[in-house]
Chain A
């Protein structure tokens, strides 16, 4: 029998929802076989990996709530970056360097605690967050300029700039920004008071989690309801029609890179203002790269990245749990 693949005449709403679920299911099956090959019980391993962090939902035990908070804290930067990337990728602007923009944001935001260590006011917090976003935007402006001026592929330039920013960070924390009272460890002064993100009550949920939810919702609204969102989608799927509609390709390159870069920078400064608490040579476990998966798993829909971000955060948490309880190397 001959198999014919035929293109649908229209998008299928059903498949839009189902296909990422199929992808997740296939991942679980593949993962199960890999655990089996490592001599582990695949069901136990998959339980530890994917379900244990969510235990609260069926035990309702107070001590099981903590992993959920951790999940949200891990998901926050993924969603923040992923939502911005989803918008950029919708316009066919391939920002692969969110990790670099995250680092640049953390660096610029850290100017405040490093040089104005004693300045403590609510404005300190706002200034750090704003500088973080600006740092990410400036870093993303480089590929945007190169793309529009010289036609350089933003895929390459944004990716290569990741390593530039990471080396810059490395140099700063080992050199000029090293904490003089830090026993020669490569790190800046520890951030304190208004230099760290406020948390909600007794939990570990910090302001960054809220910012991530707001960003995803705001971008989802922009894409669905505004002319700007329409412009981005049009230029993404049909550049010629976009030009006919009077939309500027160069303008969308700027907009998308500045937006996704700014959000990555915000995620970067939020990360060092909470989990890390100071600048170190390594400030992120690769959130900027994982967020690319988040954007696609969320079907390039900013709201979808909320779910995708949580899914990927589970794999981070589960990966740590698996190292501890199963003794596998991550």
Chain B
């Protein structure tokens, strides 16, 4: 099924984590519509060299948090989000990319990639402003995009039927490898991934998780939003939990039990009428 051996994800212990590269400070964002979740005063530091995971039941503000961090929705105050110490809350997604951040959304088709575009065109989608070899004075450089696409396909073992196919012609796992690989190829200082291996076969999952860990061990800060607790325990150094738009403190992965995560998922950390419930752990 997976067309090769599935290798075991190797997680070298994180060396001493560096300074915070991605900082969220009292990040709040109103709900965008009836079915959206408001983010309430979220604070989190992700340091260079570590993987922080955000667990939670679907629909508790994960996609809103992703949009707020990526800059698809900008924040009211620049200081709510800092990249490498510089406030970036009010700038858009491309300015944050130029500051060294990379983002992989949950939906592959229609958000992370345009279904009807070829893979080389989908390279341009997220890298047109941060990669000088793709766009020169407003003109697309097709050879530059083709080179990046080739490199990603080779490095992350993306399997496909023909040369430079449209994104929708790829299987879920192969497209996910491409979408994650497209960002990893930039060697970003900060990587934010929502559901890195959602609906992806075991072989592709292992490749993606290993690549995420390898990136963090090179000194990048990695934030993973996931509903898959097995995945979280496999790759995370610290774990925070989101429920109803509120984020718990991040605890070292080794100190959290499944029961404690379950309590946090149920909202044990939420502030209710000014009273803080008994802290977990």
- Which residues of A come within 8 Å of B, CB atoms? 9-11, 225-228, 230, 233-234, 237-238, 240-241, 243-246
Contacts and interface: CB of A to CB of B under 8 A. Distances in A.
A230 B142 CA distance: 12
A234 B167 CA distance: 13
B134 to A, nearest CB: 9
Interface stretch (B82-90, B121-129, B250-258): B121-129
Most chain B CB neighbours (cut-off 10 Å) among A230, A234, A238, A241: A241
Nearest to B94: A246
A241 B112 contact: yes
A32 to B, nearest CB: 36
Nearest to B115: A238
Contacts of A228: 138
Nearest to B161: A9
A90 to B, nearest CB: 12
A280 B131 CA distance: 54
A238 B116 CA distance: 9
Given A9-B168, A245-B128, A226 B140 contact: yes
Nearest to B134: A227
A5 B168 CA distance: 18
B: contact size bracket: 20 to 34
A117 B124 CA distance: 52
Contacts of B97: 246
Given A10-B168, A240-B107, A240-B110, 18 more contacts: A11-B166, A226-B138, A226-B140, A227-B128, A227-B135, A230-B124, A233-B117, A237-B116, A238-B116, A240-B111, A241-B110, A241-B111, A244-B72, A244-B126, A245-B125, A245-B128, A246-B71, A246-B129
A255 B112 CA distance: 24
B107 to A, nearest CB: 7
29 contacts: A9-B168, A9-B169, A10-B166, A10-B168, A11-B116, A11-B166, A225-B140, A226-B138, A226-B139, A226-B140, A227-B139, A227-B140, A233-B117, A234-B125, A237-B114, A237-B116, A237-B117, A238-B110, A240-B111, A241-B112, A241-B114, A241-B125, A244-B70, A244-B72, A244-B93, A244-B125, A245-B126, A245-B128, A246-B94
Contacts of A233: 117
Contacts of B138: 226-228
Contacts of B135: 227
A297 B43 CA distance: 54
A10 B107 contact: no
A246 B165 contact: no
Nearest to A7: B168
B204 interface: no
Contacts of A241: 110-114, 125
Interface in B161-190: 165-166, 168-169
Contacts of B49: none
